[in-house]
Each structure stands twice: as C-alpha cells, then as structure tokens.
Amino acid sequence: MKRKIKNIIERPWKLLIATTATWDSIATLKVTKKEIRQQFVFPWIAICVLVVFIFKSLYAPDKALEVGLFNAIITAVSFIGGYFFSITICFWYLRNQHPEKIDAIACEKVVSFSFTTIFVLKVITTILPGMFFLQILNIYTAYLVWEGCRAVLKLNEEERGNIVLVFTLVIIFSTILISQIIHFMLPNA
C-alpha cells in the first residue's frame, strides 16, 4: 500500500524533473490499460477532486459545502471525460497516421502520463488561486508527449511532430472544453 501511494506521488515528480529517464522506465513497464488507470490516472483524479472540494469550500463566501461539492463534481466529470476523450482521439489519430505503430496500451501510457502537468497544476492553482497564471505551464505537456512518443511509441523526430501537436492540443483542451460545456449548461455554476 505504501509503495502504491509513493508511486502516485513519485512518478509525476520524476516526470516533471527527469523527464527522459522517467519515460524510459515507463516504456519498460509491463502493465495493462486497467492498471495504468488504477495506479495513476484515477488516484490523481481523486486527489484533484478532493483538493477542489476542500479548497473551494474554504474559499467560498457562503454556501461553502454546496460550492465545494459542485466544483468537485465538475472537476471529476471534466477530468474523467477529458481523459477518455483524449485517449479515444489520440488512438484514432495514431491508428490513421501510423498503422504500423498501433498499440492501445502504448498510446494509453503516453496520454495518461502526459496528463501529469494538468493534474499537478490543478492542485496548485486550486490551493493557491492567485497563482492562476501558472496555467501557462500546461504547455509543458507538449514536452511530456514528445518524450513519451520517443520512449514508448519509438517514433523518430520527423514522425513525432504532428503526433505531438495533436496529442498535446487534445490533452490540454479536452478537460477545459468539457468544463466550459458544463458551465454553459449550468448558468449559475
């Protein structure tokens, strides 16, 4: 149990600090899609939802519990929806552009671990809302995708360009788009 919790925190830290070496170790992992989701993605979504609930409740001027719960639900739906939408679009694009490189688990590894920046920045900007300008660091997702395509998908530099562009845009904007749709549908959100 302690090892799993340690991996949940340690792997994103290593991805942000020592990206190339961490991607090389991720590429050698023999895991299923279910294990990737259970050991990395869903715990990070849960952490983000918990942090959003706590800090939105603390910062709310009135109806604290309602505001915290409402924002936590929006965060959960946008992250889960954005994650599965990203995997679907990225796998579809990879299948159309590089049919010889089709591997659903490898594509899921790249997308899942490239969400690291999104998760970490959500936690930081929720705890410290005045640091909203840090959202520009979501661009670091492009570098994570670039290195992930090299290590996991074994693509050379020429092949990575378009894939990195599509994967990065889908990863960054999928959660934002879903969140904006929810806010549009719920005008008082």
pLDDT attached to residue 118: 93
pLDDT digits (tens, 9 = 90+) for 135-184: 888 899 999 999 999 899 888 888 888 889 999 999 999 999 999 999 89
Structure confidence at residue 1 as a pLDDT band (50, 70, 90) = low
Q: Are 67 and 57 in contact (CB under 8 A)?
A: yes
Report the 10 Å Cβ neighbour count for 106. Answer: 19
pLDDT digits (tens, 9 = 90+) for 96-138: 887 776 788 889 999 999 999 999 999 999 999 998 888 888 8
Please give the structure tokens belonging to residue 131.
Answer: 């640091």
All structural domains of the chain with their residue ranges = 2-10+30-185
Q: Are 74 and 179 in contact (CB under 8 A)?
A: yes
Query: Among 56, 70, 75, which Cα is nearest to 175's?
Result: 75
Those residues whose C-beta lies under 8 Å from the C-beta of residue 150, and which sit 6 or more positions away, are 23, 160
Q: How far is 173 from 84, CA to CA, in rounded Å?
A: 13
